Structures are given as structure tokens and as C-alpha cells.
Amino acid sequence: MVARLIDGVILGVVVYLLIGNLISGAFTTTTSTDLGGGITLDLPTVSFAGLLIQAVVTFLLYGAYEFFQISRDGQTIGKKVMKIRIVKLGHPAQGGVDAESAIKRIGVLWGPQLLSFNLILNFIGGVFSLLNVLWPLWDKPLQQAIHDKVAGTVVVKL
């Protein structure tokens, strides 16, 4: 989980800079509300298209980050720091995972991000994502997350 936090910080900065500054600005308008007494409240409003583009771009950035690194050697930057690796189940000596497994893993891990354009769907996706990353805490004996089970992968210590 610490590896995921490290990767999250790295990705969070990139996504924030790209989406927060470039994409959001193009799709955000400001709505002013007069509260009376000379007080005006200005609220930013992001269009549906802007929210959808944010969701897709975020998914693509997170997915690309994960795909290229785990396909190559089974390690993201966070996993290297924590000295762990993703391997195909039954192939612990092999570095990296095949493209199909990487795509399955990314789809389950980051796919819920595509639901973030809608408040209710975002909540459902968030609950699933939380359940997914906590799954290893009670999964025995391999301690796999849901995305690992779907992809046929497991995290191993180096």
C-alpha cells in the first residue's frame, strides 16, 4: 500500500498540473450568486464535457504509467522503493507481466476513474476502489487485490 501511495503522489502532481491547469480551465465557467448586502458568491462550474475529459485523461495517464512500468519489469517507482514486484501467478522469476495481464490489471485498478464524471457513479467507483486495494488484507494465502485476481498476478517481495 505504501508503494501505491508513492505512485499516487507522483501521478497526483502530474495529473493536477495537466488537468487542474489545462483542461479544467477550458471547461470551467463561473456562476455568481448575490447573497445580499453587497456580497457575491462566485462558484466555478465544470461542464459535463470537461468532467468527462478529466476522467478519461486521468485514466489514460494512470493506466500508461502503470502499463509501461509493470510490463517492463513488474515495478512502478513506488514498488521499486518498497522492493516489491508484480509477477504473473506461477512465474515468480519472470520480470514484468504480459500486456494482456497488465491491461486487465489496469482496467480493474483504474477503470473506476472513468466514472468520476458523475457524483453517484464516482461514489460507487470509489467504494469499489477502496475495497479493491484493501482486499489483500484478508485474502489468504496470496494477499491479492481484486485487480491481481482478475489479471492472474501477485505482488512478491524482492
Cα–Cα dist 155/63, whole Å: 18
* pLDDT digit string, tens, across residues 98-137: 999 999 999 999 999 888 888 899 999 999 999 999 999 9
* pLDDT digit string, tens, across residues 49-85: 777 888 888 899 999 999 999 999 999 999 999 999 9
Q: What average pLDDT score do residues 24-36 get?
A: 73
C-alpha cell at 9: 503522489
Tell me how far the alpha carbon of residue 74 is from its chain's centroid: 17
Closest CA to 156 of 103, 82, 104: 82
3-state helix, strand, coil in the chain (%, to 5): 65, 15, 20
% pLDDT > 70, the chain: 92
